[in-house]
């Protein structure tokens, strides 16, 4: 195995598939928890799962851990402690690694953040979505504006200043003024990072069956533009399609995805991507999706939901789909480092998109122009 391979960063994603209530817009692998969570059995399953993956990543070190969901803040600090201790015992973790936990206001009791921190969590991602009670209700959230403020304040009180707030815009009936009020409220809480997503209507959701009335495109564009300017002015420049933060607070775990590095995925429905440049391929692997099936089979060959080799012909677009989400793009050399393909395979198309003004002309970088970022799908289409 070439040393080269060992230099591709490796992250770990852990999925927790339960929520108090399913939100009408959500198509993530999340299920309503009826009664208490089988957390002991689930942590056992996660550890068995990671153990089964170990031979695929011998000698490689984990740079970040992200515990997402679902609502992982429904787990007790004890369960998280057992999970993180179990991971440390099985995998070499980088000493100063980022360990993020997604936490929902309304699904985290007061005081729990300090226990989470003691268990090893050093970053939170708090799913606020909005600070407007009417919008929170339309989104089917279990929390109100007060609980959103309380969660961010509790994070500071626990010494977890490194937290992200998830906000959405383009909400049912939302005006520009209301969206900007959400931004002002978020800024007042001094988060380290902000994720700002346009609400999309996904198949297999209740919003898809009975769609709410959303603001028109002009309003949504105006919101995005004003919010972006407001955030930049307050020290949170946009660095990815939906992510805003000072440079030293960027999310390392997500950067790993956008830079097309590798990751292990454990938990119900979790996906992994692993490179084997020696064999000349990139491998995708996913786990059984339904929590009950996963609980019964994790760690056995039957716990693997599926597995596929990525075709060489798909690699350029897969790489660019991630890398071109970054406002600054990536060094051009990263293409070969991550895909094993020479940059020349892109050349005719690169020239064309540069001429169309979708990509910056700097030969040393692959970087979208402002227009390229705005019409990212058009840009990617050119490489398909």
Ligand X SMILES: C[S@@+](CC[C@H](N)C(=O)[O-])C[C@H]1O[C@@H](n2cnc3c(N)ncnc32)[C@H](O)[C@@H]1O
Binding footprint of ligand SF4 on the chain (CB under 6 A): 19, 22-23, 26, 28, 30, 69-71, 104, 127
Task: Quote the Cα angle for 294-257-154, to 5°.
Answer: 75
The listed partner (ligand SF4, ligand X, none) that binds 22, CB under 5 to 8 Å by sort, is: ligand SF4
> Are 9 and 65 within 8 A, CB to CB?
no
**Least distance from C-beta 73 to ligand X, angstroms?**
8
The listed partner (ligand SF4, ligand X, none) that binds 132, CB under 5 to 8 Å by sort, is: none
**Least distance from C-beta 382 to ligand X, angstroms?**
26
Which position's Cβ is nearest ligand X?
A: 127
User: Distance between CA 39 and CA 220 in Å, rounded?
Assistant: 40
Kindly tell me which of 173 and 280 has the beta carbon lying closer to ligand X: 173
**Least distance from C-beta 71 to ligand SF4, angstroms?**
5
SS (H, E, C) 333-367: HHHHHHHCCCHHHHHHHHHHHHHCCCECCCCCEEC
User: Distance between CA 214 and CA 199 in Å, rounded?
Assistant: 9
User: Distance between CA 231 and CA 237 in Å, rounded?
Assistant: 6
Kindly tell me which of 8 and 214 has the beta carbon lying closer to ligand SF4: 214
- Rounded (to 5) percent helix, strand, coil in the chain: 45, 20, 35
The listed partner (ligand X, ligand SF4, none) that binds 202, CB under 5 to 8 Å by sort, is: ligand X
> 26: which strand partners?
none
Kindly tell me which of 139 and 373 has the beta carbon lying closer to ligand X: 139
The listed partner (ligand X, ligand SF4, none) that binds 199, CB under 5 to 8 Å by sort, is: ligand X
**Least distance from C-beta 252 to ligand X, angstroms?**
17
Kindly tell me which of 22 and 289 has the beta carbon lying closer to ligand SF4: 22
DSSP string, 37-72: --HHHHHHHHHHHHHHHGGGGTT--EEEEEEEES-G
Kindly tell me which of 200 and 381 has the beta carbon lying closer to ligand X: 200
The listed partner (ligand SF4, ligand X, none) that binds 168, CB under 5 to 8 Å by sort, is: ligand X
Kindly tell me which of 31 and 356 has the beta carbon lying closer to ligand SF4: 31
**Least distance from C-beta 72 to ligand X, angstroms?**
8
Going by C-beta distance under 8 Å and a sequence separation of 6 or more, which residues neighbour residue 379?
A: 320, 324, 353, 358, 359, 368, 372
The listed partner (ligand X, ligand SF4, none) that binds 381, CB under 5 to 8 Å by sort, is: none
Dig out the tokens for 342 from the structure.
């020479």
Kindly tell me which of 21 and 365 has the beta carbon lying closer to ligand SF4: 21
The listed partner (ligand SF4, ligand X, none) that binds 286, CB under 5 to 8 Å by sort, is: none
Dihedral sign computed on CA atoms, order 85, 91, 96, 97: negative
Supply φ then ψ for residue 329, to 5 degrees.
65, -155
**Least distance from C-beta 274 to ligand X, angstroms?**
22
Interface residue list for ligand X (CB under 6 A): 25-26, 28, 68-69, 71, 102, 104, 127, 129, 166, 168, 197, 199-200, 202
Residue that has been written with the tokens 């992994």 in this structure: 272
Residue that has been written with the tokens 């803040």 in this structure: 73
**Least distance from C-beta 140 to ligand SF4, angstroms?**
7
Residue that has been written with the tokens 């929590």 in this structure: 291
Residue 189 host element (H or E): none
Kindly tell me which of 196 and 319 has the beta carbon lying closer to ligand X: 196
User: Distance between CA 183 and CA 234 in Å, rounded?
Assistant: 11
**Least distance from C-beta 211 to ligand SF4, angstroms?**
17
């Amino acid at each position: 195995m070439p040393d080269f391979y060992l230099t591709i960063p490796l992250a770990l994603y852990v999925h927790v598939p339960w929520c108090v209530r399913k939100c009408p817009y959500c198509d993530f692998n999340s299920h309503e928890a009826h009664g208490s969570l089988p957390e002991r059995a689930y942590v056992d399953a996660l550890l068995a799962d990671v153990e089964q993956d170990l031979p695929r990543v011998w000698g490689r070190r984990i740079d970040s851990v992200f515990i997402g969901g679902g609502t992982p803040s429904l787990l007790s600090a004890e369960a998280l402690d057992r999970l993180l201790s179990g991971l440390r015992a099985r995998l070499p973790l980088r000493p100063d690694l980022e360990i993020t936990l997604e936490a929902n206001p309304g699904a985290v009791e007061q005081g729990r953040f300090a226990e989470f921190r003691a268990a090893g969590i050093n970053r939170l991602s708090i799913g606020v979505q909005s600070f407007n009670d009417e919008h929170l209700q339309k989104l089917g959230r279990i929390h109100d504006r007060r609980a959103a403020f309380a969660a961010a304040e509790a994070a500071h009180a626990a010494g977890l200043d490194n937290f992200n707030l998830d906000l959405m815009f383009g909400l049912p009936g939302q005006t520009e003024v209301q969206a900007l009020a959400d931004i002002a409220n978020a800024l007042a809480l001094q988060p380290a990072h902000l994720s700002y997503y346009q609400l999309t209507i996904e198949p297999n959701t209740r919003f898809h069956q009975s769609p709410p009335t959303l603001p028109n495109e002009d309003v949504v564009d105006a919101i995005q533009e004003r919010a972006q300017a407001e955030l930049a002015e307050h020290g949170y420049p946009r660095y990815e399609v939906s992510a805003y933060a000072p440079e030293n607070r960027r999310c390392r775990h997500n950067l790993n995805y956008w830079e097309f590095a590798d990751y292990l995925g454990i938990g119900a429905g979790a996906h992994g991507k692993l490179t084997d440049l020696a064999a000349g391929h990139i491998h995708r692997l996913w786990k059984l999706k339904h929590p009950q099936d996963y609980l019964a089979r994790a760690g056995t060959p039957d716990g693997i939901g599926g597995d596929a080799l990525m075709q060489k012909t798909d690699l350029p677009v897969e790489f660019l789909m991630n890398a071109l989400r970054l406002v600054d793009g990536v060094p051009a050399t990263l293409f070969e480092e991550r895909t094993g393909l020479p940059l020349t395979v892109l050349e005719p198309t690169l020239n064309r998109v540069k001429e169309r003004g979708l990509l910056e002309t700097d030969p040393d970088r692959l970087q979208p122009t402002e227009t390229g970022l705005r019409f990212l799908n058009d840009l990617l289409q050119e490489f398909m």
